[in-house]
Amino acid sequence: MSSTLFDLTGEAAVVIGGTGVLGGGMASALAAAGAAVAVVGRSAERGAERVRAIDEAGGHAVFIHGDVSDRKSLDDALKKITAELGAPTVLINAAGGNRPDATLPPGAKFSALPLEAWQNVFDLNLIGGALLPCQVFGEAMLSGGKGSIINVASMAGMIPLSRVVAYSAAKAAVINLTKFLAREWATSGIRVNAISPGFFPAEQNKALLYKEDGTYSDRGAQIIGHTPMARFGNADELAGAVVWLASSKASSFVTGQNIVIDGGFSSVTI
């Protein structure tokens, strides 16, 4: 039994945001476990790079263009994926991000935060990062009576980290939506869970964590000092949790959960 517990052969997995560092790592992990993977994103160049890496490692993947802010784009992506890989049975929602004008700099007033910036970040991470994909791909899974949805939340959604106020609020909403959908679809064969990564260096936060010379920034050093493992996470360290939640054999009774992967950050009292 243990040899097949995490075998995803026969599964069609969709990784929205699979062109990014963390989403791409999840796509590779699912492919290595045997799933046929659709890497969904807006960058054909980065999508092709990820697909090539998966294929060279012995997996099977395709790139499908998709814009999480556009319902029609996601509907079209679903049709293409179903035609190429079959009906999706695993969905990873890894799209999201932040922007500088939705982040409060030191000494800034919350009341001066631009509404347009807030709405942009909130919509990207909640509506595009979870709601619309769950509506589109979740409906397809309901038709098949089987599926595992994994929303990528954040440590910021659990703890109101300073500065990234709009991002934190959106990720908190993702966790709440995850629990709602888990309850809503529990008897329909669909499991819905979230993972909350701690601090994983990627394109959008690298400048926050490191100086140009490669040493820790003040913020990066503060985070490391608060993390019991005394380091940042690596993208491949999300793989185990993702494959576990994707596997109907390994996590058949797990739904509505938020799995924290943070090197112990959240275990330390602030």
Which residues are the active-site residues? 167
Nearest Cα residue to 58 out of 35, 79, 74: 35
Residue with tokens 């062109």: 19
Ramachandran assignment for 88, one of left (phi > 0), alpha (psi -120 to 50 degrees), beta (any other):
beta
The Cα 56–Cα 50 span in angstroms is: 10
Nearest Cα residue to 220 out of 206, 239, 236, 241: 206
Contact 29, 52 (CB under 8 A): no
- What does the buried/exposed string (b/e) look like for 111-129 if buried means 16 or more CB atoms within 10 Å of the residue's CB? eebeeebbebbbbbbbbbb
